[in-house]
């Protein structure tokens, strides 16, 4: 049995309520103590860090503009697509920018090219912005903007639908700015499995349309912390596209690794995690029974000696079936070594996997992974997101689970 997106929410709601009983009644959203000043954290809240004057988040401007234009005629913009644009090729491009003269660089990308725009400079913080725009067939649409962090700005674009024009725009409030914009193109393909160059560190590309790509960003997204292994980016994008195909709300991936493969926050002397090195980890938001996917707690949390944990029996609004569907899409890669989730959310996810299998939305061979104690295991501070980790081994995983998995040493998230 299968169902389309219009049926999905009704089926999942019935399944979730029948499984949860009275505890399945959706109450008001609990206080999300897993988000500090709008940013996700894996560590117990530290007021000293939260009060830090260091800039830790990106611009509050919307990260994307919904694509409401009619059907695309072509992804290649006329000339000029934007007044003042200059053509650029790969490599380092010196820019001299003033408030009245922004840097505006145009790039033509092929459908199999991941393009990174990497701006470096020696002065200023919020006064320097990097924005990426995309030609949607009629106009240039802003995909994302970053003004956060010392010494660099970085954004990436990828559009497999066809040849596409992108722009990088650099603006400043400084009297003048001398900076370097480095443009790097790397072959990239979507898919459920990586076959080569899988450890290559790449930035998660900005979503072209969250309703189609299945993932989005929020005002707290720190783009310089969104660098992951090629394979992990592929798995997340593949799962997100499945989410989009079912009409579910877009996922919100937050921290992968820093641009240099280090733990996010290392660049400002305040690491946000214990792990998240070399692009093998990512934190992603969860689906609620209300159909929304947000960074919020799905229980009544309490502070313990180990960190923030759910009070037993207080799970609320958590959609185990919806989450099991996209977890399973990543598990199917055969490359997931372990994931972290609060212990209160795991049984509901296991039940959700069983129910998703019954209605044909999850391969039944994946169901045993949900309660093997490894693919989903408890760790404090994971009541509002799942932490996914993939193997750094060079061996290639199967497209579906075969009973074996890569054994790697445990490492706290």
Which pLDDT band holds residue 411 (cuts at 50, 70, 90)?
Answer: confident
Computed over its alpha carbons, how large is the radius of gyration of the chain? Answer: 21
Which pLDDT band holds residue 17 (cuts at 50, 70, 90)?
Answer: very low
Indicate if the pLDDT at residue 92 is higher than 90. Answer: yes
309, containing H or E segment: strand 308-310
DSSP 8-state secondary structure symbol assigned to residue 398: P
pLDDT at 407: 63
Which pLDDT band holds residue 326 (cuts at 50, 70, 90)?
Answer: very high
User: Which residues belong to CATH 2.60.120.380 in the chain?
Assistant: 65-189
pLDDT at 20: 39
Q: Are 95 and 172 in contact (CB under 8 A)?
A: no
Average pLDDT, integer, range 165-192:
96
The set of residues, in sequence order, having a beta carbon less than 8 Å from that of 403 and lying 6+ positions away, is none
Of 402 and 369, more confident: 369
Q: Are 34 and 103 in contact (CB under 8 A)?
A: no
- Three-state SS sequence of 33-46: CCEECCEECCCCCC
What gap in Å lies between CA 162 and CA 142, rounded to an integer?
18
Size of the chain in residues? 413
Q: Are 147 and 58 in contact (CB under 8 A)?
A: yes
Maximum Cα–Cα distance across the chain: 64
Q: Are 57 and 268 in contact (CB under 8 A)?
A: no
Share of the chain above pLDDT 90, in %: 74
What is 65-189's CATH number? 2.60.120.380
pLDDT at 73: 62
Average pLDDT, integer, range 285-305:
96
Taking the mean position of all CA atoms in its chain, how far away is CA 411?
Answer: 21
- How many other C-beta atoms lie within 10 A of the C-beta of residue 181? 22
What gap in Å lies between CA 322 and CA 293, rounded to an integer?
10
Average pLDDT, integer, range 328-340:
95
Average pLDDT, integer, range 323-333:
96
Indicate if the pLDDT at residue 25 is higher than 60. Answer: no
* β-bridge pairing 86-87 and 35-36: unpaired
What gap in Å lies between CA 62 and CA 64, rounded to an integer?
5
Query: Per mean pLDDT, which range of 131-145, 285-299, 398-412 is the poorest?
Result: 398-412
* β-bridge pairing 103-109 and 86-87: parallel
In DSSP terms, 132 is beta-bridged to: 144, 168
pLDDT at 58: 52
Q: Are 355 and 162 in contact (CB under 8 A)?
A: no
Mean pLDDT computed over every residue of the chain: 84
User: Which residues belong to CATH 3.30.1380 in the chain?
Assistant: 1-60+207-413
389, containing H or E segment: strand 386-390
Indicate if the pLDDT at residue 46 is higher than 70. Answer: no
What gap in Å lies between CA 186 and CA 170, rounded to an integer?
22
Quick: pLDDT tens for 190-217.
Answer: 999 999 999 999 999 999 999 999 999 9
Quick: pLDDT tens for 355-395.
Answer: 999 999 999 999 999 999 999 999 999 999 999 999 998 76
DSSP 8-state secondary structure symbol assigned to residue 101: B
Average pLDDT, integer, range 88-116:
97
pLDDT at 180: 98
Indicate if the pLDDT at residue 13 is higher than 50. Answer: no
CA nearest to 376, candidates 328, 318, 334: 328
Q: Which CATH class is domain 1-60+207-413?
A: alpha beta
């Amino acid at each position: 049995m299968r169902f389309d997106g219009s049926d999905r929410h009704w089926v999942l709601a019935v399944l979730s309520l029948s499984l949860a009983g009275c505890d399945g009644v959706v109450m008001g959203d609990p206080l999300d103590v897993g988000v500090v000043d709008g940013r996700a954290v894996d560590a117990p809240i530290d007021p000293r860090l939260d009060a830090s004057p260091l800039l830790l988040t990106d611009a509050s401007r919307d990260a994307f503009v919904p694509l409401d234009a009619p059907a695309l005629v072509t992804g290649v913009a006329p000339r000029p697509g934007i007044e003042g644009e200059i053509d650029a090729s790969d490599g380092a491009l010196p820019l001299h920018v003033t408030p009245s003269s922004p840097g505006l660089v145009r790039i033509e990308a092929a459908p199999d090219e991941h393009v990174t725009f990497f701006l470096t400079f020696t002065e200023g913080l919020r006064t320097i912005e990097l924005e990426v725009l995309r030609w949607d067939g009629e106009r240039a649409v802003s995909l994302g903007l970053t003004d956060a962090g010392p010494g660099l700005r970085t954004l990436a674009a990828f559009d497999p639908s066809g040849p596409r024009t992108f722009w990088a725009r650099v603006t400043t409030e400084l009297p003048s700015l001398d900076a370097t914009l480095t443009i790097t193109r790397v072959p990239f393909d979507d898919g459920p499995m990586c076959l080569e160059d899988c450890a290559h560190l790449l930035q998660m590309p900005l979503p072209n349309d969250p309703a189609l790509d299945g993932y989005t960003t929020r005002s707290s997204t720190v783009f310089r912390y969104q660098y992951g292994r090629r394979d992990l980016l592929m798995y997340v994008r593949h799962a997100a596209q499945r989410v989009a195909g079912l009409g579910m709300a877009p996922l919100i991936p937050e921290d992968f690794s820093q641009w240099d493969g280090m733990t996010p926050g290392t660049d400002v002397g305040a690491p946000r995690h214990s792990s998240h090195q070399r692009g093998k980890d990512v934190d992603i938001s969860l689906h609620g029974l209300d159909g929304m996917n947000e960074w919020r707690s799905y229980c009544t949390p309490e502070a313990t000696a180990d960190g923030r944990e759910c009070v037993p029996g207080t799970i609320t609004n958590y959609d185990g079936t919806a989450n099991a569907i996209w977890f399973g899409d990543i598990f199917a890669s055969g490359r997931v070594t372990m994931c972290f989730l609060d212990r209160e959310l795991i049984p509901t996810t296991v039940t959700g996997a069983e129910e998703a299998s019954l209605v044909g939305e999850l391969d039944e061979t994946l169901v045993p992974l949900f309660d093997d104690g490894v693919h989903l295991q408890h760790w404090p501070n994971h009541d509002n997101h799942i932490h996914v980790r993939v193997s750094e081994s060079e061996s290639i995983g199967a497209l579906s689970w075969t009973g074996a998995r890569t054994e790697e040493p445990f490492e706290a998230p």
